[in-house]
């Protein structure tokens, strides 16, 4: 038949329940459950939607598990926080859950979406492309701070959560495991989920994570084998942004200190042509740990990627801030291809990032067109969180590498703008052949945060290394205003080379 269950203008129904009340809603030719046109206040809980009775394999080729469509006046609840109230929504060929035109305020809690019934393995047959698909639907809540609210959204073939449409705003995604199994440690063998969360042309003001305990998501283990998998991917043709990413672990296991062996996602956060997003914050609870990814912690690209703030995070370091998450994360933060006027750090208390323990560079500016007018201030780059101790065997090669960066400012004239750029293996700052017009001022480069002590064990060779200086135009090191001079000392070879 076309639909397993079709609610048309029907209110306050409950589909399923715990134990024997569970429905198996599978093998329909269109949707397992269709709720549309004025239906309101319905609850879907405890069902297997798309799978067999054991929740171990797909049953038939049902395209969509649940479809919510057309102006549902009172929100739908999918799942629940009590034992057995979550649904298993897996094995549907296209969408586990699809929301359209507009469906407002849906709550999605306590479900397994994409996995087998144990939440830690793939189905033995069948898989779905999208776990949750949101189109033109505002105010969706996915997860919560209590453990019973957590969704496990993993082992889908394409996207864990996909959102699109200018009226898809006010979405809150919190407290979920996206990419790993129920233990928050194990990669789901056989999973090829490309993206944990994917935003394209969505409305402004969506939130990933939260500052209250339990609201942060674990977004790790996306792995498509093609070097493009990302924890959070955000793109927009119109530069709409203003999303908030706070309190999450992106790349590591749930402890924030151990990497996902052999199954690293390529990007932690990828932002393309999207503006005014905030990653982290000055509140301690806003800190993201973005570490243990394969290549890039944060990657920002495109001329309309402007006004993004990265502040208060640990990038490359583990949850203690005293060691790295031992993995191959090569670059902490990358600004590429004309990303312009973005802010790494902040001049207020708690706004600086710890950017240490990345393999190649803490901050990297690159691209065929220069990244321009960006600000780097108030960070610790290379050392541990105390700013006085080196990272040991996993120190990053360069603190900052400006390969093709122009007119960027590193530091400032007061202590709140000062970066501590010390404890790196080779260069505190490297200025590449295509970089020009950059200003480096008011920093401690080679010394600890007290400006007097050498970081014991540090092998940072060069404070500032100007590569092919004949092609570097108007690089300024220091300044004539009080506080703009750098302290460049304690490097093992040269202060400036």
* Cα angle value 439/443/449 (rounded, 5°): 165
Position 72 scores a pLDDT of 67
Give tens-digit pLDDT for 154-164.
999 999 999 99
Give the closest residue to 9 by CA, choosing from 70, 99, 67.
70
Rounded distance between C-alpha atoms, residue 448 and residue 362, angstroms: 17
pLDDT value of position 102: 73
Low-confidence ranges of the chain (pLDDT < 70): 71-73, 239, 327-328, 468-472
Dist. CA 120–CA 97, nearest whole Å? 20
Q: What is the pLDDT of residue 261?
A: 83
For residue 77, which phi and psi values (nearest 5 degrees)? Answer: -110, 125
Q: How far is CA 24 from the centre of its chain?
A: 34
Query: What per-residue confidence (pLDDT) applies to 229?
Result: 95
Which has the closest alpha carbon to 484: 417, 402, 395?
A: 417
Q: Which residues pair with 372 in a beta bridge?
A: 340, 406
How does pLDDT run across 19-40, given as a tens digit for each residue? 999 999 999 999 999 999 888 8
**pLDDT of 416:** 96
């Amino acid at each position: 038949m076309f639909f397993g269950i079709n609610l048309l203008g029907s209110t306050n129904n409950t589909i399923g329940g715990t134990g024997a009340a569970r429905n198996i809603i599978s093998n329909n030719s269109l949707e397992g459950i269709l709720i549309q046109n004025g239906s309101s206040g319905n609850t879907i809980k405890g069902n297997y939607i798309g799978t067999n009775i054991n929740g171990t394999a797909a049953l038939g080729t049902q395209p969509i598990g649940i479809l919510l469509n057309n102006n549902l006046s009172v929100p739908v609840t999918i799942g629940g926080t009590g034992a057995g109230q979550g649904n298993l929504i897996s094995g549907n060929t296209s969408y586990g859950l699809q929301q359209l035109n507009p469906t407002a305020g849906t709550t999605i809690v306590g479900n397994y979406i994409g996995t087998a019934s144990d939440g830690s393995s793939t189905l033995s047959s069948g898989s779905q492309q999208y776990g949750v698909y949101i189109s033109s639907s505002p105010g969706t809540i996915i997860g919560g701070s209590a453990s019973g609210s957590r969704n496990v959204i993993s082992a889908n073939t394409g996207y864990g959560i996909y959102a699109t449409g200018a009226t898809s705003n006010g979405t809150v995604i919190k407290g979920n495991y996206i990419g790993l199994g129920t233990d928050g440690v194990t990669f789901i063998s056989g999973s090829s989920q490309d993206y944990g969360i994917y935003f394209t042309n969505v409305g402004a003001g969506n939130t990933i994570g939260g500052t209250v305990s339990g609201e942060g998501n674990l977004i790790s283990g996306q792995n498509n084998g093609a070097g493009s998998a990302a924890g959070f991917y955000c793109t927009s043709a119109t530069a709409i942004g203003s999303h908030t990413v706070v309190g999450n672990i992106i790349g590591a296991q749930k402890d924030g200190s151990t990497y996902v062996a052999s199954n690293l996602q390529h990007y932690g956060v990828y932002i393309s042509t999207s503006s005014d997003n905030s990653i982290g914050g000055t509140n301690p609870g806003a800190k993201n740990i973005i570490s243990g990814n394969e290549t890039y912690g944060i990657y920002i690209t495109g001329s309309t990627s402007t006004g993004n703030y990265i502040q208060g995070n640990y990038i490359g370091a583990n949850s203690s801030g005293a060691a790295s998450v031992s993995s191959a994360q090569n670059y902490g933060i990358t600004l590429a291809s004309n990303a312009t006027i973005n802010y790494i750090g902040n001049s207020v208390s708690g706004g600086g990032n710890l950017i240490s323990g990345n393999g190649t560079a803490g901050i990297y500016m690159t691209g065929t067109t220069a990244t321009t007018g960006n600000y780097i201030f108030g960070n610790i780059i290379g050392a541990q969180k105390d700013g006085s101790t080196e990272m040991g065997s996993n120190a990053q090669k360069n603190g900052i590498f400006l390969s093709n960066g122009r007119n960027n400012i590193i530091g400032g004239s007061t202590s709140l703008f000062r970066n501590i750029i010390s404890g790196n293996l080779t260069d505190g700052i490297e200025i590449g052949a295509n970089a020009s017009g950059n200003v480096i001022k008011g920093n401690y480069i080679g010394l600890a945060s007290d400006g007097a002590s050498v970081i014991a064990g540090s092998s940072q060779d060069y404070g500032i290394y100007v590569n092919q200086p004949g092609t570097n135009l108007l690089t300024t090191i220091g300044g004539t205003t009080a506080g703009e001079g750098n302290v460049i000392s304690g490097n093992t070879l040269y202060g400036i080379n």
